[in-house]
Every structure is written in structure tokens, then in C-alpha cells.
Amino acid sequence: MPSISSGISIALQAVLTHSQVLEITEHNIANASTPGYRRQSAILTAETPSSINGADYRTGAGQRGSGVTIERIQRFNLSFFDGRYRAVSSEAGNWEAQSSILSHLESVLAENSDDGLLPKLDQFWSGWQSLSTDPTNTSLRTILLDDASSLATAFNRRATQIMELRSDQNQVVGSQVEELNALASEIANLNENISRVISVGEQPNDLLDKRDVALDRLAKLTGAVSTEQKNGEVMVSIGGHVLVVGHDAFKLETRTNPTDTSVADIYWSDNQKLTPTSGEIKGTLEVRDRVLVDQLNGLNTMSAGLIAQVNAIHSGGYGLNNATGLNFFNGTDAASITVNPLLDAASIATSSAANQVGNNTIALQIGGLKTVKGMKGGTATLNEFYNSQITDLAVTTKRSSDNSYQHGLIVNALGNQRESVSGVSLDEEAANMAKAQKAYQAAARVLTAYDDLLDLVINRMGRVGL
Amino acid sequence: MRITNRMMTESAIQNMAENLEKVSKLQEKISSTKQFQVASEDPTNASASLSLRSHLQTLNSYTDAAEMTQNWMSATDNAFDQLEQIAVRANNLILRGLNDSLSGSERALSIAPEMQDLMDEAVEIGNTSVNGQYIFSGYQLNQKAFSLSDSATSLTDYQGNTFTPKVVNYLGDTGSMQRNLGPDQSVTLNVRGDQAILGFLQNLIQASNALKQNNINDTGDPVTDPINLKSTLTGLKSSLETLDQYRTSNGARMRQVDSAANFLETVKLETKSLLSEKEDTNMAEGIALLANQQTTYQAVLEVSQRAISALSLFDYLR
């Protein structure tokens, strides 16, 4: 049987429910630009109806409604998008990392400017060519020595820069591992809180948002994949090795590589080596351990070739002062190449025999090395060798920046799809707000009606004729 | 698709950034006049431009070598020209000396000194230098090609007095200097003094000696009459032929160098234009593209401004 008090209780329930809805709308608006925030919405449902009993029983009326309540607060999220988004974003992370290091390398080397190694090498060859046309000219000899030492410095500078860039990347790897460990323990922590909330039957929406942000970042960093379990916890793994399970996170650490002490490798706490399949760490390692090493090796091969080829001819020649048997270059690789300090202008060998100052055979031969195919098993000249190395680097850089751009586009598109489902639309919230406000107002009016009824019953009933 | 405010803002920001990047790339291309700043922007052309630059540098060296060679060879030709003039004058002197009406003293005192002068002059010319380098000395660039010294054996003059004749020595060597005018093209630079000039100088000394000795005709006695004036005439003729022969070959090589130099200039021009094609910005095209891109950017700004500051429902709800 209806009663005033149950009516008041329905109205009160409605006022409370709609003020709760208003609060949820407020929460959405407040977090409209919070990264990783998924919009929430109240799912309203009618309260359990009560059967009509007593005198009215079987009078034909059905069950009596008992008002509204919030069944749950829904979090708009499509985990299917999350998986795809993370897979692409880890690829994008990989290429972004490579592209940014390589563009840096390319602009530091500045091979296409006058400061490039090839212009200096050409300068060196033409130094010999000019000297061959005028072998007794001391100023040409001095110029050649200058050109040669600036060539040697150019080699040294490149070797140093590549090695510095490598040790920079080594530090980057170190801080990436730190970030990874921090993310892993954050996720483990959140796992614990989330499972606790879920176990009491509630929805930990904002905690889930936080965990998704951490998982997004982790995927971009290492290509980690996650699977959600029934209790709401996620299990995270990198390349088949578990990183987070339940409330526990496995630690990663860097250990100096025994064969190449300038870099550190990443190990799990159980001594397995980490092999990231994608992500920023993979990109950084790829550049540090492959591209930069290739560049340095190429530079070393080339400087060794130059040293060997020039010295072989030079040491058999005679200078103006009949000095002979001198090496032109000292050193064995790009970092150590220098012009022989014992060599002065007069002892540069140009002649193939003693006491023949006009004999330019040696100068011609060394100048002619420019066109001698002495590299790559006799298929390339020194110039061609370095040209192809620069081009290799350029192609790698271009590929990584193109890939980074394209994966960036896909990440954006997927991000937009995710945003489309879970982002906050202010217009929508305005409408929801208006809806909740009207419902609240209406419920309040109902309360006022009951107030009138009570007033009638309590204050005015039974006072007939007064 | 459900569109949220954040999507609008973010895509507006991204579009602005992308367009601004394009504008900046075009501006960079125009202001640097280069199509690419780093090789990765255009690896193929960058690689081509590197090898073209290297090629150009080589061509410049060859051009320098050709110029140097031309100087040297024209100095050589000049020396030969003067030597031939001396040869003509020496020839005339000998013919005068052979004149029967002359007395021994006239030959020894008026013609012989003149011959001596010619010889000194010829030795001077044989020691011609270019940039301080003696051109007839083979590899011995710092060494004069010829020197005169006193002979060990003395001769008797027309009065029966002994005198010490001069001998000419070649101080150079047999070096033949090669200059490269291209990767597979080399040319011999120098003419060796001992091959081309030495015989001529010896002829002049012999003529001078014969004049002093008043030794005109072959008396048939090789001991007292080793070389007479008449036979020096034949000798002079043959050494003049030698001079001429080396001068001609020098001239032929000069023509070779000239044509090589012309060829180098043509190739240089072609290489430069090829290089420019590979790496230089086409200004007209670049500026047109920039103007176009700026218009686009302006439109993007206009649209973005509306997207970001778009009215929302909140503005209409009371």
C-alpha cells in the first residue's frame, strides 16, 4: 500500500541519484583534458519493485515501482583498441628513437657540407696532384701537410663523435631501464588496489585509467604486452618474459658488456638477457649496437685502407732532402690516424729515386690512389667506399624517419578511435548536466508535493468547522 | 564518429604543426638554395652530389696541371725559338769565316769572339728556368742544365800559341717528367737538354775553336786537324735539325695539352650544371610552392581558430 513515507523515500532517492549523476558529469568535465581519462557515465536503473499486498492484492495493479538508483558507474573503454594502439605505438617508439638519434648523428657529421670527410679527402688527393705538377714547390708541400692533418682530424673527430653518441645512448638506455622498473612497480601496485576494489564488487574506474596510462607508456618503451585476468589484475610480459604478475614486478638492471665495456646490456634479475621486440629501448639499442657500430667500423676500415695505401707508396719514395722509408700517416684506425710527426715539408716523398727533385712518380701514384679501387675487395675507391657509407646512413635515417612518421599517423588514428569512444565531449556533458539538473528539480518538486500532503494531514485534518 | 573537444584541439594542433614544418622546409630550401640540408632528405641525389663534387675537385686539379704544363711548354718553345735564331746567326758567321779572302787574324779576332758570344748566349738559353726550375735539366730542377768549363787538352791558335778551349757539360739527368691531364692521360713535360741542345752547343764550341785555329778545310790529317770550320757547318745543320725535331714534338704536345685543357673546361661546365641540377633549388618552383604552402597554412590557422574556440552547448544553457 502506498504511503507518504515511501513516496518521500522515492523522491529522496531520486534527488540523491541525480545529484550523483551531476557529480559524475562534473568529474567528466573536470577531467576533459586529463591524459588517459576514460569518460564515465552513471547507469541508472529502477529500484526493485515491491509487490502490492494487503487489501489491494489482486486488484489488478502490478508491482509498485520504488524509484531510481545507480546500478554502476560505467567506464567507456574498448580493450580491443588498447591492444592495437599499444602494438602500433611500440613500433612508433622504436622508429622515433632511431630517427631522432640518427638525425642527430647526420647533422653532427655534416657530410654534405664543406666540412664533410669527402671534401677533405678530395682536398688531400688534389694536394698530391698539385704537388706532382710542381714537386719542388715548398709551399705546395706545406699546404699538403695542412690538408693531410685536417683530413686526419676529420677522421678523429668523427670517431670521437660516434663514440660519444654511443655512450650518450648508453646513458639513455640506463634511464629507460629505470623508467621501466618504475612503471612495472607502479603497475604491480595498481594491480593490488584494483583487485581489492573489484573483490568488494566496485568499479575502480580512475585506477584503471592510471594503469592504462602506465601500460601505454610501457608498450611504447619496450613493446610490452598485457593480458587482463579475471580478478582485474594484468599480467605484463616483454618478449615472452613476465614483467608484472599479480602484485609482483620483476626488476631489470644494466650490466657492463664484458667484450665492449663502453656499453651496458640489460638483464632480468634472473640473469636472462632482455631482448625487446619493439619500443624505444629496441630503437635505442639498435642504433647503439648496430648502426653506430657499423658507421664506426666503416670509418675504421676506410682510415686503415687510406693509411695502408698511402704509406705503402710513400715509404718507398724520396723527399727533397732524400728522406726515405717514412710513413705518411701514423695510426691504425679513425681514432688514431695522424700525419707522421717526423714528416716535414721537404721530406714528403715525391720522387721514386734519390737525388731527383723533379721526379714526381710517387706524387702521381699517391694522387692516383683517388681512382684506385682498393676497398671492398677491389670494387670501390676510398671515395666510393665512404660515399656508400654516407648513403647507407642517409637511407637508414630516411627509413626510420619515414617509418616513425607513418607509425605516428596510425597511432594518431587509433588514438582518435579510442578518444572517440572514451573521450569527454563537453557538449554531451552539457546535455547530461541539463538532464540531471531537470530530473533533480523535478524530484525536489515531488518532495514539495509530499510536504504539502503532510502539512494537510498533520495540520489541517480533523479540524472540521473550525 | 563521436567527436570530442580534445580530438578537435589535438588535430588542429597537429595540422598546424605539420603545415608549419612544410613552410619551414620550403623556406630552408629557398634560403639555402639547396634541395636538401642533410643526405637523408634525398639520399640518391645527395650521393650523386657528393661524387660530382669530388669529380669537380679532380677536374680542377687537372686544369691546374694543364695550365702549369702550358706555361712550361711555351717557355720551352720560346727557348727553342731563340736557339734557332742563334743557329742562323752562327751559320752566317761560319759562312763568313769560310770566305777565302779573310786572314787568320780576322777569323780569330773578329769572328771567333762573336761565335763565343753566341755560344754564351746559347748556354744561357739552355739554362732557361720557369718559376726557378731549370727546364732542360731532366729531374734536376734545381740544377742549371749546362755549364762551361776549360778543356783538359789545349789547342794551338793561328799564331801558334796554345789556348784552352771550352767544353760544355750537361749537369741534368735523363729524367722525363710526366704530367697527368686526366685519369688515363699523361703527357711528357720536359725536353731533355742532353738530347736536344747539347750537340748544338758543342757545335758552337767547335766552330769557335776552328775559327781561332784558323782551320778552314780538311787537310786529311785527323790528328792535327780534328775539326775544321767546314765540317762544323755540316754539324751545325744536323744539330739544327735536332733542335727543330724536338721543338716540333714539344709543339705537338702543346697542342695535346691545349685540347686536353679545352676538354677539361667543357667537362667542368657539364659537371657543374649536373651538380646544380642535383642539389640546387629551382627558385621559381620553390617560391611558388612556398606561396602556396603559406596560403594553406593561413587556411589551417583560420580553421583551427574556429575548431579550438568553437562555441559549446554550455554557452547556450542558462
Tell me which chain B residues have a C-beta less than 8 angstroms from the C-beta of A111.
39, 50
Tell me which chain B residues have a C-beta less than 8 angstroms from the C-beta of A28.
none
CB contact under 8 A, A426 and B177: no
The number of beta carbons lying within 10 Å of the beta carbon of residue B187 is: 19
The number of beta carbons lying within 10 Å of the beta carbon of residue A429 is: 23
For the complex shown, is ipTM > 0.90? no
pLDDT digits (tens, 9 = 90+) for B203-217: 999 888 888 888 777
Selecting from A351, A384, A430 the residue whose C-beta is nearest the C-beta of B313 gives A430
Grid cell locating B213: 785555329
Tell me which chain A residues have a C-beta less than 8 angstroms from the C-beta of B317.
430, 433-434
For chain A, give percent helix, strand, coil, nearest 5: 60, 10, 30
Residue B221 pLDDT more than 80? no
CB contact under 8 A, A364 and B47: no
Helix (H) or strand (E) holding B163, with range, is strand B162-163
Q: What are phi and psi of A335, to 5 degrees?
A: -75, -30
CA distance B301 to chain A (A): 20
CB contact under 8 A, A420 and B64: no
pLDDT digits (tens, 9 = 90+) for B275-300: 999 989 999 999 999 999 999 999 99
- pLDDT of the residue at A459: 87
Q: Minimal Cα distance from A412: which residue of B?
A: B11
Cβ–Cβ < 8 Å for A222, A281: yes
CB contact under 8 A, B47 and A419: no
What span, in angstroms and rounded, lies between the C-alpha atoms of B211 and A173? 98
Cβ–Cβ < 8 Å for B62, A129: yes
CB contact under 8 A, B38 and A106: yes
- pLDDT of the residue at A406: 95
CA distance A383 to chain B (A): 8
- Work out how many CB contacts closer than 8 A connect A with B: 171
Taking domain B51-273, whether its CATH number is 3.50.50.60 is answered by: no
Nearest to A383 by CA among A395, A367, A372: A372
- HSE (CB half, 13 Å, CA atoms) of A15? 13
Mean per-residue pLDDT, B238-264: 93
What span, in angstroms and rounded, lies between the C-alpha atoms of A413 and A90? 15
Cβ–Cβ < 8 Å for A69, A10: no
Tell me which chain B residues have a C-beta less than 8 angstroms from the C-beta of A397.
38-40
- pLDDT of the residue at B308: 82
Cβ–Cβ < 8 Å for B199, B191: no
Grid cell locating A207: 585506477
Q: Rounded to a whole number, what is the largest CA-CA distance in chain B?
A: 145
CA distance B159 to chain A (A): 46
Question: B294-298 long-range CB contacts below 8 Å, 24 or more apart?
Answer: B294/B23, B296/B19, B297/B16, B297/B19, B297/B20, B297/B22, B297/B23
* pTM exceeding the 0.90 threshold for the entire prediction: no
Domain ranges of chain B: 5-33+283-315, 51-273
- pLDDT of the residue at B316: 85
CB contact under 8 A, B43 and A426: no
Query: What rounded mean pLDDT belongs to chain B?
Result: 89
What span, in angstroms and rounded, lies between the C-alpha atoms of B60 and B145? 32
CB contact under 8 A, A388 and B173: no
First to last CA, chain B: 28
CB contact under 8 A, A430 and B312: yes
- pLDDT of the residue at A215: 95
* Residue of B61, B135, B179 to mutate when probing chain A, most A C-beta within 10 A: B61
- pLDDT of the residue at A266: 93
CA distance A424 to chain B (A): 6
Q: pLDDT 10s digit of each residue in chain A, 466 long?
A: 567 888 899 999 999 999 999 999 999 999 988 988 999 999 999 988 877 665 555 555 667 788 999 999 999 988 888 899 999 999 999 999 999 999 999 988 888 888 899 999 999 999 999 999 888 888 999 999 999 999 999 999 999 999 999 999 999 999 999 999 999 999 999 999 999 999 998 889 999 999 999 999 999 999 999 999 989 999 999 988 999 999 999 999 999 988 888 889 999 999 999 988 899 999 999 999 999 999 999 999 999 999 999 999 999 999 999 999 999 999 999 999 999 999 999 999 999 999 888 889 999 999 999 989 989 888 999 999 999 999 999 999 999 999 999 999 999 999 999 899 999 999 999 999 999 999 999 999 999 999 999 998 888 888 776 6
Tell me which chain B residues have a C-beta less than 8 angstroms from the C-beta of A137.
131
Which residue has cell 664484458? A258
Mean per-residue pLDDT, B7-34: 92
Selecting from A106, A384, A425 the residue whose C-beta is nearest the C-beta of B5 gives A425
